[in-house]
Amino acid sequence: MIKREFSKERLYKLTKRVVIIVTVVSVLLSIVNYYQIWKGDQDLRLCEQKYSYNLDARVKCGEVPALTMRLAEENSNTLLTIALVLPIVFFGGERLYKYLFPEKKT
């Protein structure tokens, strides 16, 4: 039977990589959501121009872009919060731990 040892260094490296990957993916998805917001705004303007004479048709035309913009805005805010807070908490916590519990020099 093989005995396994717990390695703090390997756990730290793995956690660091996960934090960096999640941060990068969150930023990229947030950029995609901002593009959807921009695209939805363009679609709303197109609806206003196309159906300037018919208010009911303009409202129906703009329902989907407005809903898409609202959902993309909520998602982008959440993703940006994750992208900003996660690295600050992880790397800030690491620095705080090293400051509070310095290595003993023997």
The residues spanned by each domain of the chain are 36-86
CA distance 50 to 44: 10
pTM beyond 0.85, yes or no: no
> Quick count: other Cβ atoms within 10 Å of Cβ 18?
12
Q: Give the orientation angle of helix 8-50 with respect to helix 55-100, to 10 degrees.
A: 160
Proportion of the chain above pLDDT 90, given as a percent? 34
pLDDT tens digits, 8-36: 889 889 999 999 999 999 999 999 999 98
